[in-house]
Amino acid sequence: MQITLENLNKNFGSVAAVRDVSLSFESGNLVALLGPSGCGKTTILHLISGILPVSSGRILFDGKDVTDLSPDKRGVGLVFQNYALYPHMTVLENISFPLMVKKVPKKERRKIAEEFAELVRVKDLLNRRPGQLSGGQQQRVAIARALSKGPSILLLDEPLSNLDARLRIEMREEIRRVQRDTGITSIFVTHDQEEAASISDKVALLKFGETQQYASPRELYDDPANLFTAGFIGTPTINVLNGRLHGSTFHLGNSAFHLPFTADGADNKDVVLAFRPEAVRVAEQDAGFAAIVNETYPVGKDTLLHMQVNGDKFRMFCAEDEVVQVGQRLSLQFKDRGVFLFDAETGVRYA
């Protein structure tokens, strides 16, 4: 099922929770809604499922306007953040509940429920109650219950937030597998950029109810539309320096950095230079951009350096064969990728 959101708005009194959001979700894709707390992620899911009415705008499923259709007629399965399993029912009863509501005969109910239990790997837990399950198992049951309705769309609201770090990674891969196996168009809410990037076909990044960028995880990282996206995506966080541009030279105090590009509109303006920690390297000869090593942290095969230039700090990686000492002055140069320039006031990208 293909989903289109057209100029969607949702106000709660004076709070504009969703502002003019237009997004299109391709059939069979898994899309993440990503953004800080309060940016409108849950609200968008509730608008798509029909639990909440829109303030304005349209929602289309396969081109058909469902904006005013009641939730039970939309064919949407929703998994809430807290799973909301029925505590007095067994796993089997929980998963078959939507089928009971649909008046599916008992024998068939059991067969369908067992199939979904198998898909999410809880088939040996069918007689337990939610209180006797781990967080990860409850989460699987909640997904199976949402799927047993036979929805054309699956919406998942931060389904992994109650799990520990390791289980989160395992379960996100599990969600991706189930989504691929079933081919259901799915929207997955998270505020964890790494989680969003790791399993999604596309990511919609939101801030204050507005879309900042809607693109593949790779594109968000390599080609951020604005400073917010550049800063939100990537670990460690992108480095940010405030300075002034003259031609292809970035001036920061008395330092001048040669950039791998020019930016027409930005000449002689206050700009923000943002660069990924892997976008800078030690120069062969003096390249005019020097910084002092403040700290060194071994991370896996690389070393992360905390650097200082004038009063500003940034982070960069150096390879294991480079011996670097605290207090050392390094001459640096930028690589071609991962270096961006933004307007200091608006955050709009120049280059």
- Site residues, ligand ATP (CB under 6 A): 12, 15, 17, 35, 37-43, 191
Contacted entry of Mg ion, ligand ATP, none for residue 136, CB cut-off 5 to 8 Å set by kind: none
Q: Which of 241, 245, 277 is nearest to 259 (CA)?
A: 245
Contacted entry of ligand ATP, Mg ion, none for residue 285, CB cut-off 5 to 8 Å set by kind: none
Q: Please give the C-alpha separations between residue 1 and each of 8, 71, 89, in angstroms, as whole numbers.
A: 19, 16, 31
Residue among 23 and 119 whose Cβ is closer to ligand ATP: 23
Contacted entry of Mg ion, ligand ATP, none for residue 37, CB cut-off 5 to 8 Å set by kind: ligand ATP
Residue among 12 and 261 whose Cβ is closer to ligand ATP: 12
Contacted entry of ligand ATP, Mg ion, none for residue 49, CB cut-off 5 to 8 Å set by kind: none
Closest distance of CB 15 from Mg ion, Å:
14
Contacted entry of Mg ion, ligand ATP, none for residue 39, CB cut-off 5 to 8 Å set by kind: ligand ATP
Tokens of 154: 């699956």
Q: Which residue has the tokens 């709660």?
A: 12
Closest distance of CB 112 from ligand ATP, Å:
31
Closest distance of CB 166 from ligand ATP, Å:
22
User: Peptide bond preceding 36: is omega within 30 degrees of 0, i.e. cis?
Assistant: no
What is the C-alpha separation between 18 and 38, in angstroms, rounded?
Answer: 10
Residue among 14 and 37 whose Cβ is closer to Mg ion: 37
CB of 186 closer than 8 Å to CB of 179: yes
Q: What is the phi-psi region of residue 347: left when phi exceeds 0, alpha when psi lies from -120 to 50, beta otherwise?
A: left
Residue among 42 and 148 whose Cβ is closer to Mg ion: 42
Residue among 10 and 74 whose Cβ is closer to ligand ATP: 10
Please name the residues in contact with 54: beta carbons below 8 A apart, sequence gap of 6 or more.
8, 9, 10, 47, 67
Closest distance of CB 252 from ligand ATP, Å:
35
Closest distance of CB 41 from Mg ion, Å:
5
C-beta nearest to Mg ion: residue? 42
How far does CA 52 lie from the centroid of its chain?
A: 23
Closest distance of CB 17 from Mg ion, Å:
10
CB of 168 closer than 8 Å to CB of 139: no
Residue among 12 and 297 whose Cβ is closer to ligand ATP: 12
Contacted entry of Mg ion, ligand ATP, none for residue 191, CB cut-off 5 to 8 Å set by kind: ligand ATP
Q: Please give the C-alpha separations between residue 268 and each of 243, 245, 279, 292, 341, in angstroms, as whole numbers.
A: 10, 5, 24, 27, 13
Q: Which of 3, 29, 42, 95 binds Mg ion (CB under 5 A)?
A: 42
Q: What is the full DSSP assignment across 95-120?
A: HHHHHHHTT--HHHHHHHHHHHHHHT
Q: Which residue has the tokens 């989680």?
A: 195
Q: How many residues in the shown chain lie near Mg ion by CB under 5 A?
A: 1
Binding site for Mg ion (CB under 5 A): 42
